[in-house]
Structure 1
Amino acid sequence: MLFNSFEYWIFFAVVVVLLAFFKPNARRIIVVGASYIFYSFWDPRLCILLFASTLANFYLGIAIDDAAESRRKALVTCAIVLNLAVLGFFKYFDFFADSLSTLLGLQGHPWALSIVLPVGISFFTFEGIAYCCDVYRKDVPAVRSPVDFALFISFFPHLVAGPIIRPENFFPQIRQQSGLTLVDVKWGFCQILKGLLKKVVFADFFAVVADGYFNDPRSGAVGPAVGIVAFAMQIYFDFSGYTDIARGCAALLGFRFPSNFERPYLAANIADFWRRWHISLSNWLRDYLYIPLGGNRVGPLRVYVNLMIVMALGGLWHGASWNFMVWGVAHGTMLCIHRVWGRTVARRISVPSLLRPLTIVLSTTLTFLMVVIAWVPFRATDFATTSTILQQVVTKNVLSTAGASSEYWWLLGISAAWCALDTHRRLQNWMVERMPYALVGVPIAFGLVALQLLGQFGVEIPFIYFKF
């Protein structure tokens, strides 16, 4: 059941209507039940895994909270190992088994088990780890209500593709729940409409162009720059569109999720990019991997090693493919170079105030180009395709406009113009949060017309992060 499908909105409307007739305690039970129904649309068997993961983390959290200091570390270690074992088995067993078979020169796939990848497993296992670690650190108390904890893990707006919600952000909202205000309703609907526009109009159009290039980069039907930029636009509009819809649906159910994207392609450097892109994952990797490894508190060489480990594992988190790890290593390398530059060359350069706007434009452009090129191994299906595309990037044919229709340029132009017009999101925030109710119908009507005229309804393209 996709967010951009008619079936989902019927399902969501039924849930919202049902909640209006019940008190808060009953509402939580209804939402948990609805979440399992939602998840069962992919494969009812997966609900067993979701339930088992929820139950294990619920009791482990209580055990950690109640344990003596001498046993707390062993229990949280057990929780981390259990969650990673579940994630590793379902997501990576076949991948590593096949890789080992290839390394040993074995024919076929003798050790593969053909395991079905549970939708959203990367997200709900990371939330389970975060919860147990936070209880161990005494950042949050253990949740004693199984319904409340099940709601945290299975809450359907973010169940299959995030954002990764932190316990300290979610559980207080359960206790503070009250009726929806007009502000909540307006904000929720605006987020949903914005997300649908991003997905159905922008992401799905760029997806067709990107597929036309990455599926056969040698054909010449789509130019390298056209195809690579198309994928950069697709993944941003696709994932940020999903997040907007998830945040809007959550708001209409009484919860506010933090922002997961803050104009990442306007980042002035690669570190800034990761403060703006998939913020919930970036923060998770920082707090539960980078800092425990030593973070910035260790020697300079170890800091760079930590960065590479975190980004390599962050890349592999996205999928069972060496290409994803290459993407992560590429970003780790860029982060290390940025760190070296900032601690050596940048400190010795004094830029005149008149030239600072130009340096920002240049650094933002360079960052965008590097990020876009790094998307190649992320999207390519194998090393051979990655190699072919990267070879094309350094040829004069890279700027071929083959495959770029007028609609392609219009959508790119609209994206760039909107960012230039509303760089700091003041206009967008005003429209979403402070626009007078008498005027709300104007952007809504405009958005619905744009969906009708420009929406890619003839193709069914799932959200990219559903497979992670």
Structure 2
Amino acid sequence: MVFSSLLFIFIYLVVTLALYYAVPNRVYRNVILCVLSLIFYGWGEPSFVLLMIFSIAFNWLAGLLVGKYRNNKKRCKAVLVASVVLNLALLGVFKYTGFVVDTLKAVFPFMRSYATPIIPLPIGISFYTFQAMSYVIDVYRNDTSVQKNPVYFGTYVALFPQLIAGPIVRYRDIADQLENRHENVAQFASGIKLFTVGLAKKVLLANQLIALWNVLRESSAANGVLGSWVGIIAYTLHIYFDFGGYSDMAIGLGRMFGFEFLKNFDYPYISRSISEFWRRWHISLSTWFKEYVYIPLGGNRRGLARTLLNTAIVWMLTGLWHGASWNFVLWGVYFGIIIIIEKLFLGKYLEKAPAFLSHLYAIFLFTFGWVLFDFTDMGQMRDFIVSLFNGGSVGLISHDALVYVLAYLPVLIISIIASTPLVSNLHKKIENRAWCGYADAALVLIALVICTASLVSSGYNPFIYFRF
């Protein structure tokens, strides 16, 4: 089940809200959220619900044991290590087995006769595994208290708004909300508004942009240079509105049930460096790797060489987290190298450079980075990169590519504007006027109607980060 479906919006969400607000007791509300979140997760793949229940039970028990042995350093650390190893083992088996086997077969000829195991990837396993691990680690560090109620912990891990594709919510950020949140009309209305904004980003922008990208991606050799660049720009905008739209919907849904999740995107495409880009893009993932990998490795406290090594490790792991394919490793290494260069010397020049130039620098690099992200086939990736700089006999742009670009030009222009804080800044200037609230409500209703009409005429609308 996905957020951008009629089944979710008009049946699952309505039923869940009705049941949730029908009971006044906080404990029962968490029970309802936990059970219905498991139903949400198991709607398409019931067998993987058992894996999630195991993850919940194991990590809840690990947290209890860490708390119990807090005064016994060896036992406490042993429980932590066992917890991290098992969590990573589960993630590794389901997500990376095929990748590892294929890599070994490529390196060792005698293994090529072995069949690569086909193991289905549980949706959202990368997200909920990281959440569960962070809880046990935080208990070990004494950054949060032990959650003794298994239903409350299950609600934290399985909570459907952020279950499938984040944001990655640290337990300590919502620990108090699990027990003491106070729902109110203003927060609920804000949640509906943000959910609808995210839905519009997904249905009205992201889905249109991916259609243009799919056409130009497949015909890259015949696009011309401009055609290929417009294609990758369309994909750059698509992935922002697809994933950013999902995050808005998740945060909005959380508000409907009284939760406040931290922001996951902060207009990343206005960045003036790649370091700044990653402070604005998928903030919850960057924060997770910083707190649970980079800092434990020593961060920037052990000299320049160690800092650069730690940065390289984090970015290779970031690439691998996104997918079991060498293009994701390459993508992570690509950004890692750029960030290292910015740490070494380039960053200080970017700060002094005219904003226009530093912004162009960042746009070029993160846009090019999405080429590495999207193409799992290295040969196709190479061909598309060539098409970005060499149009061959086609030249600047082919007739067919021009037709598609002109057809999607309004969507491209709207998307570029919407990827900046321009609209948000204008809204802040008028939000205190009496009529603004009514205008917001009308726009939300209109957007919901248009999105519903679009969903009626379309098929399955998965989000790109579901596969991670």
TM-score normalized with structure 1 length: 0.91
| Distance change >3 Å, CA 467–CA 117, structure 1 → 2 | same
Task: Spell out the pairing of 1:49-448 with structure 2 (5 A cutoff).
Answer: 49-67=51-69, 68-105=72-109, 110-178=114-182, 180-220=183-223, 223-342=227-346, 359-396=354-391, 400=397, 402=402, 404-418=404-418, 422=422, 425=425, 427=427, 437-448=437-448
TM-superposed CA distance for 1:133, in Å, is 0.7
3-state SS in 2 of match to 1:223:
helix
Give the aligned residue type for 1:232: T
Identity across matched positions, percent: 33
- Say whether the 8 Å CA contact 1:187–1:433 is kept in structure 2: no
- Say whether the 8 Å CA contact 1:92–1:320 is kept in structure 2: yes
Alpha-carbon distance between aligned partners in 1 of 2:173 and 2:406, rounded to the nearest angstrom = 44
TM-superposed CA distance for 1:73, in Å, is 1.8
TM-superposed CA distance for 1:458, in Å, is 3.0
Give the aligned residue type for 1:444: V
Deviations 1:197-230 (A, max 9, x none): 1000110001111122334433439921121111
Give the aligned residue type for 2:99: F
TM-superposed CA distance for 1:88, in Å, is 0.5
| Distance change >3 Å, CA 433–CA 54, structure 1 → 2 | farther
Alpha-carbon distance between aligned partners in 2 of 1:391 and 1:171, rounded to the nearest angstrom = 50
TM-superposed CA distance for 1:165, in Å, is 0.2
TM-superposed CA distance for 1:42, in Å, is 2.2
TM-superposed CA distance for 1:339, in Å, is 1.1
Deviations 1:99-130 (A, max 9, x none): 11122235766253211111110001101111
Aligned to 2:3: 3
- Say whether the 8 Å CA contact 1:314–1:328 is kept in structure 2: yes
Aligned to 1:14: 15
Alpha-carbon distance between aligned partners in 2 of 1:83 and 1:307, rounded to the nearest angstrom = 23
TM-superposed CA distance for 1:434, in Å, is 9.8
| Distance change >3 Å, CA 425–CA 283, structure 1 → 2 | farther
- Say whether the 8 Å CA contact 1:204–1:456 is kept in structure 2: no
Over aligned residue pairs, what C-alpha RMSD do you find? 2.5
| Distance change >3 Å, CA 33–CA 390, structure 1 → 2 | same
TM-superposed CA distance for 1:435, in Å, is 7.5
Alpha-carbon distance between aligned partners in 1 of 2:432 and 2:295, rounded to the nearest angstrom = 36
Alpha-carbon distance between aligned partners in 1 of 2:133 and 2:197, rounded to the nearest angstrom = 31
Which sits farther off after the overlay, 215-224 or 439-448? Answer: 215-224
| Distance change >3 Å, CA 258–CA 344, structure 1 → 2 | closer
| Distance change >3 Å, CA 276–CA 456, structure 1 → 2 | farther
TM-superposed CA distance for 1:408, in Å, is 2.2
- Say whether the 8 Å CA contact 1:42–1:119 is kept in structure 2: no
Alpha-carbon distance between aligned partners in 1 of 2:434 and 2:309, rounded to the nearest angstrom = 46
3-state SS in 1 of match to 2:122:
coil
Structure 1: runs of 5 or more not aligned: none
- Say whether the 8 Å CA contact 1:226–1:404 is kept in structure 2: no
3-state SS in 1 of match to 2:221:
coil
Alpha-carbon distance between aligned partners in 1 of 2:4 and 2:20, rounded to the nearest angstrom = 22
Alpha-carbon distance between aligned partners in 2 of 1:254 and 1:393, rounded to the nearest angstrom = 47
- Say whether the 8 Å CA contact 2:375–2:381 is kept in structure 1: yes
TM-superposed CA distance for 1:24, in Å, is 1.5
Alpha-carbon distance between aligned partners in 2 of 1:344 and 1:431, rounded to the nearest angstrom = 37
Runs of 4+ with deviation above 6 angstroms = 432-435, 452-456
Alpha-carbon distance between aligned partners in 1 of 2:454 and 2:46, rounded to the nearest angstrom = 35
Give the aligned residue type for 2:422: D
Alpha-carbon distance between aligned partners in 2 of 1:120 and 1:418, rounded to the nearest angstrom = 27
Q: 2:36 aligns with which of 34, 37, 60?
A: 34
- Say whether the 8 Å CA contact 1:201–1:455 is kept in structure 2: no
- Say whether the 8 Å CA contact 1:57–1:132 is kept in structure 2: yes
- Say whether the 8 Å CA contact 2:131–2:157 is kept in structure 1: yes
Alpha-carbon distance between aligned partners in 2 of 1:76 and 1:383, rounded to the nearest angstrom = 39
Deviations 1:248-285 (A, max 9, x none): 11111111111100000001111110110000000001
| Distance change >3 Å, CA 403–CA 367, structure 1 → 2 | farther
3-state SS in 1 of match to 2:45:
coil
Alpha-carbon distance between aligned partners in 1 of 2:13 and 2:117, rounded to the nearest angstrom = 36
- Say whether the 8 Å CA contact 1:223–1:398 is kept in structure 2: no
| Distance change >3 Å, CA 424–CA 86, structure 1 → 2 | same
Alpha-carbon distance between aligned partners in 1 of 2:268 and 2:380, rounded to the nearest angstrom = 26
Deviations 1:27-54 (A, max 9, x none): 1111111011111112111011001111
TM-superposed CA distance for 1:171, in Å, is 1.3
TM-superposed CA distance for 1:71, in Å, is 2.1
3-state SS in 1 of match to 2:22:
coil
3-state SS in 1 of match to 2:402:
coil
| Distance change >3 Å, CA 428–CA 243, structure 1 → 2 | farther
Aligned to 1:47: 49
- Say whether the 8 Å CA contact 1:127–1:164 is kept in structure 2: yes
3-state SS in 1 of match to 2:30:
helix
TM-superposed CA distance for 1:402, in Å, is 3.1
| Distance change >3 Å, CA 307–CA 429, structure 1 → 2 | farther
- Say whether the 8 Å CA contact 1:198–1:241 is kept in structure 2: yes
TM-superposed CA distance for 1:98, in Å, is 1.4
Give the aligned residue type for 1:386: M
Give the aligned residue type for 1:261: F
